[in-house]
Chains A and B, each alone.
Chain A
Amino acid sequence: MKPAPFDYYAPATMGEVLALLREHGDAAKLLAGGQSLVPMLNMRLARPGVLIDLNRVAGLTGIRQEGDTLVIGAMTRHAEVERSELVARLQPLLTEAIAQVGHIQIRNRGTIGGSLVHADPSAELPAVLAALGGSVRVAGPAGVREVAAEDLFLMFFTTSLQPDEVLTEVRLPVLPARTGWAFEEVARRHGDFAIVGVAVTLTVADQRATKADDLVITGCRIALTGVGMTPVRAAAAEALLVGRPPSQAMLAEAAAAFRAEIEPDTDIHATADFRRHLAGVLTERALGRALQRAAERGGGR
């Protein structure tokens, strides 16, 4: 299990990266953390003629706040995101989800941008991006463009990035007030890719004017991994919840609505039916936890 030969470049600037991409076109593959790419190289399932290593490119790492947006450089390692107090404060859904990515050694090397462009249909981070309605910035020959989550993932292992483009940063909206979050997944073993995973945010408002001690859901975003070719938004379930007071029955109803919407695949670990069932169960659990957190974060006050 040794990789086929390739030419290797370790450019220091984005300009060099783009020039190399222009020169080598489809023959080139970008190397970020390598935690998904290198196994494929070792198994010779991928045989790029050229590997462009992004690890020495300046300006691709770091975590910062820009107004209502949390900005994370594409080459920021999972472990750094996981440990970041800024991320935990501004977008705790990501903190919770990223701890589920692989194991310590994977997270020490793997990058947030790499995870997203790899677009594994069972991965955690694409679902998080989709649930949060985040976006990514992409550098290319024509300059920098922003791609919204819903436009990024096309199908299994395929994004809308062109072969001459590079994902440079990930942009996530800061978690609003009175909003709870939860990431739930089941995997065969700890750290494995999810069979099904769900990322949820839920915003509530005080409705005391009409009914004492009651809340109303004013916003809800749900995205799942493992149930389709890309992360799947649960639009019907979201619509069902928004504008209504939360209850366990409501959450169950939303989960059931979602279950009917999806068309997952069967593989050696789970049938389509089982995945559909899990999607419902996990959505209900995630909504429940998110609701509790929303209430704790001042929903009722």
Chain B
Amino acid sequence: MKVTVAVNGTYYTREVEPRLLLSDFLRHELGLTGTHVGCEHGVCGACTVLVDGQAVRSCLTFAVQMDGAAVTTVEGLTPAEGELHPLQEAFREAHGLQCGFCTAGFLMTLVPYLAEHPNPSEAEIREALSGNICRCTGYQNIVKAVQLAAAKGGGR
């Protein structure tokens, strides 16, 4: 089936099998390998991307469903090569990542969350992050990174 989707502001038209997951479409059809796949059953959150601005699990969505949609991946966060989004900057500052595998999912969850909740409490941050699993950091420095980003203006 033919699907046309805007990913990070660029339109792509591809012929895909209906069963192709959005995560595989992004990674293997478009080569946008910054989105990672950790469980393929919608628990770990590593594959989170934005669909029309909302955080969504790309492993639970088919590429064909995205016809006409706007998808943003971690590659679309960075304004230009060598620059970091303020939230990425905060993650680096606070050591909010170790192996880096889950990180894109956390970032993509947090971008719309911080836009909606510019001053979250620690408990609210932890709840907002509860759909993303990190096995390295114990979450502590991720929470710190979110606080840092929020303090600097909501990470927008």
Contact = CB atoms under 8 A, between A and B. Distances in A.
A and B touch in the complex (CB under 8 A): yes
Contact of A35 (B42, B45, B109, B127): B42
Contacts of B57: 35, 105-106, 109
Interface stretch (B48-56, B73-81, B85-93, B137-145): B48-56
A269 to B, nearest CB: 15
Interface stretch (B4-12, B13-21, B148-156): B13-21
B55 A34 contact: no
A39 B55 contact: no
B19 A106 contact: no
B131 to A, nearest CB: 3
Interface residues of A, number: 30
Contact of A109 (B21, B45, B61): B61
A190 to B, nearest CB: 5
Interface stretch (A1-9, A89-97, A255-263, A275-283): A1-9
A189 B24 CA distance: 29
A42 B131 contact: no
B127 A190 contact: yes
B60 interface: yes
A104 B55 contact: yes
Interface in A148-173: none
Interface in B104-141: 109, 113, 127-128, 130-132
Contacts, number: 83
A152 to B, nearest CB: 25
Given A8-B64, A53-B65, A103 B19 contact: no
Contacts of B113: 104
A39 B61 contact: no
B109 A105 contact: yes
A102 B60 CA distance: 14
B97 interface: no
A51 interface: yes
Interface in B34-50: 40-42, 45, 48
Contact of B19 (A3, A10, A102, A108): A3
Interface string A15-52: 00000000000000000001100110111000000010
